[in-house]
Structure 1
Amino acid sequence: MKKNNLIHARTCVYNVNYHIVWSTKYRKEVLNNNLQEELKNLFFEIAREKGFIIATMEIMPDHVHIFASAHPQIAPSYIVKMLKGISARKLFIKHPELQKQLWKGHLWNSSFYIETIGSISKDAIKEYIENQKTRG
């Protein structure tokens, strides 16, 4: 098995990655270039404070893509909750006009898309597991 991108923690070695996508409420295009840069910095700050890593991200006018890595003890839903909740609160405080552009004052849609990302394919893992007894 390929051993790239492994993170060594006190009790485990892991490579847990997520591709997370969510949109603004009603897909309103409210994230202009200035807000995009501010939001990127905010997301990195939140990740650092909450103990996960954002490898890369892209912020579009109406949605966000994030590639994150986290210790297995950190639930993916926690990552999303922290990023969405803290960023919305901080942006609304700093940019009250943003809240007026969105009906009912919610920045983010309540749903999100998430998928796990590994460094090896599902088929390679399946083959590796199936061949364990023959390696003896």
Structure 2
Amino acid sequence: MTGTRKVQRSSGGVYDLGLHEVCGPKYRRPILGGRVAVRLDELIRQKVDEKGWEIVALEVMPDHVRLFVKHDPKSSASCAANQFKGFTSRVLQAEFPHLKSRMPTLWSSYFAASVGAVSTATVEKYINTQWERAGKKEKGDAS
């Protein structure tokens, strides 16, 4: 979604709400690689579809997740983060028992910022170029 502004309409108004969220596993452990990363990506997309939101950019890194999502005005940043964290934690720990045995709580706190002070394109580019930054391993290296 680069270039022109895309607004959503509801019965009560018009909105364009973007949220940049970062969530990391407890102690920022690099456990989000391989099959876990693939499944986490699927689960986040499933939750976004369920809520009727839109993913602008999503990257699952070994030790954190960056998400730029467009959401409805009824959903706060904390609501969105908790939707992702609670749902993905339950499913991932059920499907990957080693996650539960290593860490009873999968996620630590989150960072959320509304996208408005910088352009949508800037946030999207920042998230999409995570793997190009110095010192980063290749995408999918961690297991």
| TM-score of the superposed pair, with normalisation by structure 2 | 0.75
Structure 2 CA distance for partners of 1:120 and 1:22, relative to 1, 3 Å: closer
Residue in 2 that maps onto 1:108: 107
Cα root mean square deviation, aligned: 1.9
Query: Post-superposition shift, 1:118?
Result: 2.9
- AA matched with 1:8: R
Structure 1 unaligned spans of 5+: 122-136
Structure 2 unaligned spans of 5+: 120-143
Between the aligned partners of 1:5 and 1:119, the Cα distance in structure 2 is: 17
Contact 1:20 1:115 in 2 (8 A): yes
Query: Post-superposition shift, 1:50?
Result: 2.5
Residue in 1 that maps onto 2:39: 38
Q: Percent identity?
A: 29
Between the aligned partners of 1:86 and 1:68, the Cα distance in structure 2 is: 16
Between the aligned partners of 1:113 and 1:11, the Cα distance in structure 2 is: 29
Which shows bigger deviation, 51-60 or 86-95? 51-60
Query: Post-superposition shift, 1:40?
Result: 0.7
Residue in 1 that maps onto 2:94: 93
Structure 2 CA distance for partners of 1:100 and 1:74, relative to 1, 3 Å: same
Number of equivalenced pairs = 117
Structure 2 CA distance for partners of 1:32 and 1:14, relative to 1, 3 Å: same
- AA matched with 1:106: T
Between the aligned partners of 1:6 and 1:120, the Cα distance in structure 2 is: 17
Query: Post-superposition shift, 1:34?
Result: 1.6
Q: Which has the higher helix share?
A: 1
After superposition, residues 59-98 of structure 1 pair within 5 angstroms as: 59-98=60-99
| TM-score of the superposed pair, with normalisation by structure 1 | 0.78
